[in-house]
Chain A
């Protein structure tokens, strides 16, 4: 079984879908000959040609809008944002045009908008963002955020096959840092809307996604070793539609919950997750549901500042201990 990085798994997933379905095509800035700023689409131009791997002008609104139009006509575009931070330039297209298309007009818009998100790479305020909250709030968009190599592949394939618009948030810190054996030829599809138990436990549930899955697992190990408590980690994988059943089942088992995300606190999706736990599992709770998030500032450039602003494994440990002792 070949060992793949997260980035290679994403690439392989797109590659297989392009090979399988001629309606699938890629568009974005520098995705062609250059293979993308992070080389996610390396080799695609040579294999699939200029008509299916389209280098676009620096026009995020046009990239997403054109993807939508092509999708209405039965194509399956995968649009790359060079950094996900630039998706804000396509906010209008995504939230007003794309998200409402099915409800208001009965139009199918099967597009994927993907791009490198997240911090811990010293990228400063405009190359480090987690943009999910703005789109999470907009009915009509699906959101996925893989944490593992397997899901990097499984979710891109599922997103491309989905009949609705999907925003696929890959984490650039994970690109080349994690590896996994992925069986060749196996059609790996991670169903959209299904969370995964990343680690089983019985004393506390951590609900998280993307790179924070790894920090949460690190914290869980430490607590097991040092405190003897057993922590369950739920990797959401899909943020919208959210897998309430998986979250609630775990909380009913452990009676304590902590939500961890890399995005800032205020208006971050942890608030919504906590509300759902309150609505659906209040009587099972032995402690208030808490959250560990980034501080409410832009993401600063200097390592000292970035490490302070973003959530760390030790924050998860501290919050988990507080909950376990409650």
Chain B
């Protein structure tokens, strides 16, 4: 901060300036990494589909940032930002999308379906809702071992319709487990508007049915999401049980890159573009004198450099060798049988 600018106002939510800048770094990293992935997708280097979180990076990053070392989260397809905050590396994500042998799942699974329980994230499977009961189990292990650790699981507005969501959150609630359930109300599940997914207006009211606290927060307000999540996480940590947080946001891209978004109104997309979480956060930082454009530009440059390096590092990695196709099916015996008709 140069002399003569407005004096910095007090930073909320117990955060300090370094943390504010770190949050900015993760926001920028998430958005820029996805932009790199779009380029790779257009060059057909991404093997499967590509799922963007444009406009939702704020809630992903801010909620994950509210966790501590030892806590574990389970992301959804649009929670790339949460994974990065927990320590997943851009190069790992790039390798996953490109099905490289060097990817965390050795080319077996796609996009952000991978885990590192030490760093604190458990990858999802595609079947929506399934991670809610599994994360209840992770939280149960914390409770049984009397550890002060917390679980956090993301679920889409659409996936709240899945039976597994209901069973999992109810299980956590009645067992009083240290679990935070973040429901991402982003307007759509694929093409289906939230109004055709559920008859409630506010998804937070579902918490009532489980006997747990439910809160709604502006998902594009980074600091608000941080604060609400931190409160729920810290309550869970001291035995306060499960909380449901509804983050209200908007999916500005299609379900996946191939989706033409014919069902989304252009005006609505434009409206939400004006409510971009990263832009809003930058404005907050600058308006309050917590960061100036020079320091933010330096972070942008750092992100660019890191991503240049990450892409260069893995773009030419090989696809997995067929020698790995049948291994690690069980702990013992580890490999599936190679069938007799398959040439060596």
Contact = CB atoms under 8 A, between A and B. Distances in A.
Contacts of A314: 343
Interface in B312-344: 319-322, 324-326, 329, 336-339, 341-343
Contact of B263 (A34, A124, A318): A34
A305 B322 contact: yes
Interface string A161-189: 00000000000000000000000000000
Interface in A265-323: 265, 290, 292-293, 295-298, 300-305, 308-309, 314-316, 318-319, 322
Nearest to A322: B341
Nearest to A316: B341
Contacts of B159: 58
A57 B324 contact: no
Contacts of A19: none
Given A34-B191, A303-B99, A295 B326 contact: yes
A305 B126 contact: no
A202 B163 CA distance: 52
Nearest to B128: A58
Interface in B92-140: 99-101, 105, 107-110, 113, 125-129
Contacts, number: 136
B325 A295 contact: yes
Interface in B69-110: 99-101, 105, 107-110
A29 B190 contact: yes
A88 B125 CA distance: 13
B80 to A, nearest CB: 17
B32 interface: no
A134 interface: no
B192 interface: yes
Interface in A51-108: 55, 57-59, 61-62, 82, 85-86, 88-89
B319 A59 contact: no
Contacts of B141: none
A298 B339 contact: no
Contacts of A30: 190-192
Interface in B191-227: 191-192, 196-198
A305 B320 CA distance: 7
B11 interface: no
A301 B47 contact: yes
A222 to B, nearest CB: 14
A127 interface: yes
A125 interface: yes
A122 interface: yes
A316 B192 CA distance: 43
Interface residues of A, number: 44
Given A295-B338, A305-B108, A58 B319 contact: no
B326 A57 contact: no
A296 B337 contact: yes
A59 B108 contact: no
Contact of B339 (A59, A122, A295, A302): A295
Interface in A1-36: 29-30, 33-34
Contacts of B109: 124-125, 300-301
A296 B343 CA distance: 17
Contact of A86 (B100, B127, B342): B127
B191 A304 contact: no
Contact of A318 (B47, B107, B321, B343): B343
Given A85-B126, A305-B107, A265 B339 contact: yes
A123 interface: yes
B68 to A, nearest CB: 31
B319 A304 contact: yes
Contacts of B127: 85-86, 88-89, 126
Interface of A: 29-30, 33-34, 37, 55, 57-59, 61-62, 82, 85-86, 88-89, 122-127, 265, 290, 292-293, 295-298, 300-305, 308-309, 314-316, 318-319, 322
Interface of B: 47-48, 99-101, 105, 107-110, 113, 125-129, 158-159, 161-164, 189-192, 196-198, 262-263, 319-322, 324-326, 329, 336-339, 341-343
26 contacts: A33-B263, A55-B191, A55-B192, A57-B198, A58-B162, A82-B190, A85-B127, A88-B127, A89-B127, A89-B163, A89-B164, A122-B99, A124-B109, A292-B339, A295-B325, A295-B338, A296-B337, A297-B325, A297-B336, A300-B109, A301-B107, A302-B100, A302-B320, A303-B99, A304-B319, A304-B321
